[in-house]
Amino acid sequence: MEATDSTYEYYEYDESENSTMCDYSEWSPSYSVIPVLYMLIFILGLSGNGVVIFTVWRAQGKRRAADVYIGNLALADLTFVVTLPLWAVYTAMGYHWPFGVALCKISSYVVLLNMYASVFCLTCMSFDRYLAIVHSLSSTQLRTRGHTRACLIGIWLLSGLLAAPTLIFRTTKYDPTSNRTSCAMDFSLVMTKVEQENLWIAGLSISSSALGFLLPFLAMMVCYGFIGCTVTRHFNSLRKEDQRKRRLLKIITTLVVVFAACWMPFHIVKSADALSYLELFPVNCAFLRFLLLAHPYATCLAYVNSCLNPFLYAFFDLRFRSQCLCLLNLKKSLHASPASSLSSQKTEAQSLATKV
């Protein structure tokens, strides 16, 4: 049977144990479809997130707290999409990894780092909006640049720590039967029995879903529950300050909803597979075949999120859209206009960057 190692997964499907007589012939179309999608995500994510980072960096002195988190969210996505050509080749070659152990470890680590950093940035943005709207007067001392910087340092350190098992256990495995080398998890350093391996696989999988999706998502829902009550009772639709807060709230809420929609199928499939290792789900060919067929597409949907955010900013955020247009005008002025025109364009861009 063909190797079925997941491109991004932190666990492996053990065919010899669970699916000796199962037919996975329909799984092979992902070898051609998924690489094309990965390269499309790479192109859109590289250009879109690059523009976001440059726009946030350029607006020094005019940044909102949300802008700083958005910039770091874009940085996490940009770091991840750079690895997508490697994964596209891996998938196109029938899950054969020709790039060596180092790139196997680093690329897998970056995937998890992106997942944790993205969800933690969204959680901090949601909490920042909670403080700004529900406790607008008493939270002034908490919403400083120093606290924001400390939160970002904490986000990256915690994300790096939670992703660390990938650096330890991810390695290349050569299968002489199929003549392929996979990039997979190897728990031989910490266990020798199959039962122990199943516990490690299930434990890492469930913990990553809980810490990287479920718990942060619940925290965000609590924040938006309180925000919704406050907005309904106290916000005046005619006040400009409240209008700006509503617009920013809409942007962040949209980011959270899209993140959940993209990542939820991935975590459901991953958790279901983990529970099957613990024999808490029925282990039969139909169930395992469904997981194996769904997994590459659920994974691809999760990583579509890395290229969507810039388009969401451009669609919902007039401020970001205006800055991007000014950026394009500035580029034109460098080639066709005198220095005075460049100065006026900068002034226009700064005037559009209204602080909220």
Tell whether 234 and 339 lie within a shared domain. no
The pLDDT tens digits of the residues spanning 113-133 come to 999 999 999 999 999 989 988
What is the average per-residue pLDDT within 304-332? Answer: 78
- What residues are paired with 175 via a beta bridge? 180
Same domain membership, residue 334 and residue 283: no
Q: Kindly report the average pLDDT of the chain as a whole number.
A: 81
Q: Residues 227, 343: one domain?
A: no
Res. 287 pLDDT band, cuts 50 70 90:
confident
Residues 295 and 333 in one domain: no
The three-point CA angle 299-300-304 to 5° equals 120
User: Does residue 172 sit in helix, strand or coil?
Assistant: strand
Indicate if 244 and 345 belong to the same structural domain: no
Give the H/E segment covering residue 274.
helix 240-277
Give the pLDDT band (50/70/90) at residue 286: confident
Same domain, yes or no: 350 and 277: no
Domain that holds residue 249: 15-316
**What's the rounded Cα separation, in Å, for the pair 280 and 340?**
70
Domain assignment present for residue 7? The answer is: no
Dig out the tokens for 300 from the structure. Answer: 């691809």
Domain identity same for 339 and 283:
no
Q: Give pLDDT tens digits for 1-59.
A: 333 344 334 333 344 344 445 655 555 667 888 999 999 999 999 999 998 998 888 77
Domain of 73, CATH number, reads 1.20.1070.10
Q: Are residues 203 and 337 in the same domain?
A: no
Asked, for residue 51, whether it belongs to a domain, the answer is: yes
Q: When comparing pLDDT for 83 and 322, which is higher? A: 83
5: in domain: no
Does residue 251 lie in a domain region?
yes
Say yes or no: 114 and 157 in one domain: yes
Whether 6 is covered by a domain: the verdict is no
- Residue 184 and residue 260 in one domain: yes
How many structural domains comprise the chain? Answer: 2
Q: What is the pTM of this model?
A: 0.81
Q: Are residues 309 and 219 in the same domain?
A: yes
Do 340 and 286 belong to one domain? no
Quick: pLDDT tens for 246-273.
777 888 888 899 999 999 999 999 998 8
Q: How far is residue 214 from each of residues 68, 185, 206, 263, 273, measured CA to CA in Å?
A: 24, 23, 10, 10, 17
CA dihedral 84, 89, 94, 96 (to 10 degrees): -100
